[in-house]
Structure 1
């Protein structure tokens, strides 16, 4: 673990070196597991249920390692053998959101919720897909419902703020401040504080680094923190800082976190925005 500087990359305070973790790498156990599953899938005597489970397990391993095209192949294979898998539809919905195929994403999330009406990950991801697909009113309606189911969840509060910000920035901030005042002791509320700029960034990252028990946990927390701080700068139209922070969120290789996935999407949105401005 390396901590240096501990302040914003922006012009207000200036980071010499941002807080970092060693990027996550494939483990020997993961590689061996993939090899074993691949060998077993060559057998002709597997029934469909077992083969579907093995494709799912290998797909999840591929996804964790950032090999998303291979993961999608396995997820499509497992669905062809057993279509009643809500978690698979959910992750495919996230994939479709990443690449901007929003109609396919909505269909995938709808399939998840038909199979598992209480799948709150799919509820959140669908609202986020609606946001990225510029269906703001529908996104806000879905996220309000999602937030009201569990107001103690800081991620619900953050994404509701992001969506509400598209409608009324000042009102969105007021609402998030009210939610922040009713926060629990869960560490993730620090991410809300970062979004609101309620605590100095130096203090926020010091808390994040000191609270991590391992390099893996530090990488996960920094992925989240850099993404949401980047989103804050992005909403303030400080695109240079946003780009730097999204790249930092990507740097730790926490492929399975949506904050890693959506950092790619946000960078693409900035590229398109700048291209349009130049035109």
Structure 2
């Protein structure tokens, strides 16, 4: 990742309160940060209140199911995903026809690499609610991470065509299409970028296309974020998609650093936070496979050289 000199980003330094290290020739600063989000009093009180209410024995099943769903959402918002998943399953046991829960479970399954279960969950959501655009997008992303690229591209293309003004649909379509044809994916995203509006997400598209620099992207975040929560949310998005950009060109060192930054703000409800864990795992597996292949190739080469010496 590119680090910026203090001289060119003095405004950013003031706004973010970043520290700097001093050197004789130049000064360097840390990347823009936000205070990691913490659970609020409201969230904690609601979890405690719902837990107390669920102990009552006179609740109707439909009311109990709703309470489990609500508490699961609160658990999810503070990063307690296993507890959230448990509550969602208990809610479904009482009231099976809940498309939003199936969608959330599908995302959880995607995160842990249980892709067949994820596909089933998203299919259940779309059967119950065919207009659920979140499940449509999430299923395409799950197909992408499950290496079913053709199906992912088909799903995401339809999802994008339903709303071409959505920059996040354009971004994910590009990410998936890049696996099929990087050049064509770049050209298609450029064409979509030409019809952009003023939505925040198009800044991420511009960053992906190198239409703006990292410095300009960070300035856009800082000038448009009036509170720490929004700053944390937008930095989570910037670092995730910037990490994806580096990852696609094989720059794993920078990609890993950026995904870790995306995780650091505790924006648990954002898919960019959820999938940063998955991306880190994929990079680890890919690097491990590369090193294993290099080691095997080296051993074969050494074995071949020894055989030639013996023959001579």
TM-score (normalised: structure 1): 0.95
Shift of 1:3: 5.5
Q: Which has the larger radius of gyration?
A: 2
Distance, in Å, in 2 between the alignment partners of 1:167 and 1:68 is 33
Distance, in Å, in 1 between the alignment partners of 2:17 and 2:164 is 33
Moved over 3 A (4+): none
Distance, in Å, in 1 between the alignment partners of 2:47 and 2:133 is 29
Distance, in Å, in 1 between the alignment partners of 2:29 and 2:97 is 51
Three-state SS of the structure 1 residue aligned to 2:29 is coil
Task: Give the aligned partner of residue 149 of structure 1.
Answer: 162
Distance, in Å, in 2 between the alignment partners of 1:197 and 1:124 is 25
Distance, in Å, in 1 between the alignment partners of 2:258 and 2:35 is 16
Say yes or no: does 1:84 pair with 2:97. Answer: yes
Matches within 5 A, 1:108-123: 108-123=121-136
TM-score (normalised: structure 2): 0.85
186, 194, 203: which one aligns with 1:181: 194
Give the count of matched residue pairs. 271
Task: Give the aligned partner of residue 8 of structure 1.
Answer: none
Distance, in Å, in 2 between the alignment partners of 1:61 and 1:239 is 34
Q: 1:15 to 1:221 in 2, by over 3 A?
A: farther
Task: Give the aligned partner of residue 99 of structure 1.
Answer: 112
The answer (yes or no) to whether the contact 1:3–1:18 under 8 Å persists in 2 is no
Task: Give the aligned partner of residue 9 of structure 1.
Answer: none
CA displacement, residues 147-188 of structure 1 (integer Å, 9 cap, x when unaligned): 000000000000000000001101100000000011111111
Task: Give the aligned partner of residue 130 of structure 1.
Answer: 143
CA displacement, residues 88-130 of structure 1 (integer Å, 9 cap, x when unaligned): 0000000000000000000000000000000000000000000
Three-state SS of the structure 1 residue aligned to 2:16 is coil
7, 30, 33: which one aligns with 2:43: 30
Task: Give the aligned partner of residue 183 of structure 2.
Answer: 170
Distance, in Å, in 1 between the alignment partners of 2:249 and 2:28 is 19
Distance, in Å, in 1 between the alignment partners of 2:128 and 2:51 is 28
Task: Give the aligned partner of residue 55 of structure 1.
Answer: 68
CA displacement, residues 212-271 of structure 1 (integer Å, 9 cap, x when unaligned): 121001100110110000000000100000000000000000001000000000000000
Q: Which has the higher contact order (CA 8 A, sep 6+)?
A: 1
CA displacement, residues 56-115 of structure 1 (integer Å, 9 cap, x when unaligned): 000000000000000000000000010111000000000000000000000000000000
Q: 1:174 to 1:15 in 2, by over 3 A?
A: farther
Shift of 1:16: 2.6
Task: Give the aligned partner of residue 266 of structure 1.
Answer: 279
Q: 1:179 to 1:77 in 2, by over 3 A?
A: same
5+ residue gaps, structure 1: 6-13
Distance, in Å, in 2 between the alignment partners of 1:48 and 1:132 is 36
The two structures, once aligned, show a CA RMSD in angstroms of 1.2
230, 244, 252: which one aligns with 1:239: 252
CA displacement, residues 42-61 of structure 1 (integer Å, 9 cap, x when unaligned): 00000001100100000000
Three-state SS of the structure 2 residue aligned to 1:58 is helix
5+ residue gaps, structure 2: 1-14, 20-26, 293-312
Three-state SS of the structure 1 residue aligned to 2:211 is coil
Distance, in Å, in 2 between the alignment partners of 1:148 and 1:231 is 23
Task: Give the aligned partner of residue 202 of structure 1.
Answer: 215
Say yes or no: does 1:2 pair with 2:16. Answer: yes
